[in-house]
Amino acid sequence: MHSALTMIAGLGLFLFAMQQIEQSVQALFSERAAGWLQTSTSTVLRGVIAGALITAVMQSSSLVGLLVLAFVAAGILPFRHAIAVMLGANLGTTITGWLVTLLGFKLSLSGISLPLAGTGALLWVLIPRGVWRSAGLFLFAFGLLIFGLDTMKLAVEGVGDRFDVAWLQGYPAFVYLLAGVILTAIIQSSSAAMLITLSALHGGLIGLPEALALVIGADLGTTSTLLLGALKGSSSKKQVAAFHVAYNVATAAMAFMLVMPLWPWLMEQWGIHDPLYSLVAFHTGFNLIGILVFMPFLGWFEKGIVRVVGHRDKEEELFSDVAPDAVEPALLVLAQEADKLAEIIRQLCQHPVAADSLESFYHRYEAITDQELAMADYANRLAQQTMSSSQSDRLGRTRLRVSEAVYALKSVKDVIEDMVAMSRSRQPALKALSIQIRDYLEALYSEQGVSEENHGKVMEHLLAEAYAAVSPARQQGISVLNLAREIDETGRHWLRSVAANQV
């Protein structure tokens, strides 16, 4: 009983440490990882390599998956290159098995686990923010991970020494494969499943054939997380999940039926007799073989998945796919939604009187303000997360861009009725002023835009024209001076919104 409780405690420490390592590495490298993904995925092969390297460094296939999802939905990454990254991420996750084998079973590092954890804890407590605080969290988690590995290893050895474990062996390989699927689906961690398998193999609870089947099942069990998350997700999320499931099922079938029966013979030929190294080499090997086999058919995969799942609906929001606690992907989707909203506002403000009717204009205005509220709520939740100074600056600029763009639209909305009335007027001064305002809005909200200096000069002229038209405008119930002031305001707000996006 004591050994079982100690094993559970060791597993708990390991899972907690892996979670903290993931958080600290995200804080340290997530911005760079996003940059690497954007610049290193121009071909399928480069996508596979980038996915493998980033996942190996970040120790988080879930973060890579979220970045891929954000890039696909934002149109930054073609779907074919995205699934190439996912292929590489599958390979990158196998580095965990090698780390666990070396740190937990081959190297005696238990003596430095508590000093590492203590040093990291001091850095975390004493430093309020920044890179060194994240580095402290990493050291603390790394020390805790070594301690958890050592605890679990000793506990499993105790079970093997005290109890007859023959009942765990001798079942058909498919039973162990199913056990691996169920175990990973329950604990939601392929790293923990690998640790349990390595510990059981090291402690003599199971043999190498059983361990090989467990690892295949664990690899297949990782699909449960994405599959469950995609049930109510967007089309982009369903596409990524569909590929992940299809690829992992095909790779698992190939590994179970073709690679696993030959593996002991291959290890013998290569002179690898250590069962732990054989196991982690098998995990890396069948994932690498899967990549080599399926990479030439990614185009077929892409067409089939798009045909079954469908294209992304343009009305789908990215916020439902990426939670704010995944800071870098969340910043990416927020910036993408800000781009979309700013473009809608630009087009509406460029030709406000050309709307089908005032009712149509007001309906579009309400839809835009509703979207702004949704974005503000998402941004507020994102601001509560731990982030670097550059990430905080990007969030602030995105918020400023959205708020200034909406203020620009509000200024147009406040005088839209006067603009419509003036465009229909037959009074020459009002007609001429209406044309000047229309032409200026078209220039201001064009893709080229205007400078702040030019805006000031144009507004001086428009204001002078407005003063000249006060009398005829008053006769038709048009507040022409207020109209000119609001045109000035919409210009100033829009120029600030554009500037926030260019810093």
**Residue 136: pLDDT over 70:** yes
Q: Which two tokens stand for residue 356?
A: 């089908």
Domains and CATH numbers, the chain: 2-309 (no CATH), 327-502 (1.20.58)
**Residue 313: pLDDT over 60:** no
CA distance 179 to 352: 63
- Per-residue confidence (pLDDT) for residue 165, from 0 to 100: 44
- Per-residue confidence (pLDDT) for residue 4, from 0 to 100: 63
Compare 407 and 328 and report the one with higher pLDDT.
Answer: 407
For residues 37 and 54, the answer to whether their CB atoms sit within 8 Å is yes
**Residue 72: pLDDT over 60:** yes
Query: Where are the strands (E) in 80-234, listed by range?
Result: none
Which residue, among 434, 435, 453, has the nearest Cα to 495 in the 3D structure? Answer: 453
CA distance 207 to 213: 10
Q: Which two tokens stand for residue 12?
A: 């708990």
CA distance 148 to 11: 6
Cα–Cα distances in angstroms (integers) from residue 108 to residues 21, 156, 161, in the given order: 21, 17, 21
Buried b / exposed e along 472-492 (16+ C-beta atoms within 10 A):
bbeeeebbbeebbbbbbbbbb
**Residue 423: pLDDT over 90:** no
Look up tokens 């022409």; give the residue: 480
- Mean pLDDT lowest for which of 110-114, 260-264, 290-294, 366-370? 110-114
| Confidence grade of residue 77 (pLDDT, cut at 50, 70, 90) | confident
Cα–Cα distances in angstroms (integers) from residue 307 to residues 40, 93, 169, 211, 297, in the given order: 27, 29, 44, 38, 16
What is the residue-averaged pLDDT of the chain? 81
| Confidence grade of residue 233 (pLDDT, cut at 50, 70, 90) | low
Share of the chain above pLDDT 90, in %: 26
Compare 281 and 15 and report the one with higher pLDDT.
Answer: 281
Q: Which two tokens stand for residue 272?
A: 């690898």
**Residue 453: pLDDT over 70:** yes
- Per-residue confidence (pLDDT) for residue 164, from 0 to 100: 45
Per-residue model confidence as pLDDT tens digits over 78-108: 778 888 888 888 888 888 888 878 877 666 6
Cα–Cα distances in angstroms (integers) from residue 495 to residues 295, 338, 402, 403, in the given order: 47, 15, 12, 12
| Confidence grade of residue 402 (pLDDT, cut at 50, 70, 90) | very high
DSSP letter, residue 168: G
SS3 per-residue string spanning 87-129:
HHHHHHCCHHHHHHHHHHHHCCCHHHHHHHHHHHHHHHHHCCC
Terminal Cα distance for the chain, rounded = 61
Compare 49 and 18 and report the one with higher pLDDT.
Answer: 49
CB within 8 Å of 353: residues ≥ 6 apart: 416, 419, 420, 423, 438
SS3 per-residue string spanning 151-169:
HHHHHHHHHHHHCCCHHHC
Which residue, among 53, 142, 56, 69, has the nearest Cα to 104 in the 3D structure? Answer: 142
Q: Which two tokens stand for residue 207?
A: 């043999």
**Residue 157: pLDDT over 60:** no
- Per-residue confidence (pLDDT) for residue 41, from 0 to 100: 65
Which residue type does 91 have? L
For residues 441 and 486, the answer to whether their CB atoms sit within 8 Å is no
Q: Which of 146-150, 224-228, 343-347 has the highest mean pLDDT?
A: 343-347
For residues 309 and 242, the answer to whether their CB atoms sit within 8 Å is yes
- Per-residue confidence (pLDDT) for residue 167, from 0 to 100: 54
